[in-house]
Structure 1
Amino acid sequence: MEFHGRTQDLAKSFFTLYPGLCKGCGLCIVKCPKQCISWSKVLGVYGTPSVEANDECIACGICQIYCPDAAIRIEKKKKNEDKN
């Protein structure tokens, strides 16, 4: 099984989710302080919904830390890369 990530180019970060690792537990949704992570239409490894983020993301990395399957990667943008 290959683990290709889906990367979203957000205002403050690149949010990468690896559907091949995401089991759809929703822990990232619960732990996100900005409530900017929601269910996606893309299915994860067990046929459960995976997640996606929106531009409210502040790139704090809490979702990455709490994900039990290392399915999320947050890469904070440098100031000159920001969309704002």
Structure 2
Amino acid sequence: MTTLLFVLASVSAIFQARKGQWWTAVAVFLPSLGVAALLGGLEWQSTPLFWLAFVLVLAGFGAEGMAYWRTRTAGRRQVDQ
């Protein structure tokens, strides 16, 4: 299941990157990488790896926010013209 999640997210990120939507590609790939690490048998005893996976998930959500913000500001610029 974890491998399927990672493969689907990777394919989606590649398609987004090919369209030039880099923030969206990062927003898709990083959280799936972190979740795959958390679900893929990451031991709770290896605390640095757990926090690294957690930071990847948070960074992905930050990239999602950045992609949303860039889309909103681009839409406002088109309306103002």
Query: TM-score, length-normalised on structure 2?
Result: 0.27
Name the structure where helix makes up a greater proportion of residues.
2
* Structure with the higher strand share, 1 or 2: 1
Could you state the TM-score of these two structures normalised by the residue count of structure 1? 0.26
Between structure 1 and structure 2, the one with the greater Rg is: 2
Task: Select the structure with the greater relative contact order (CA < 8 A; seq sep ≥ 6).
Answer: 1
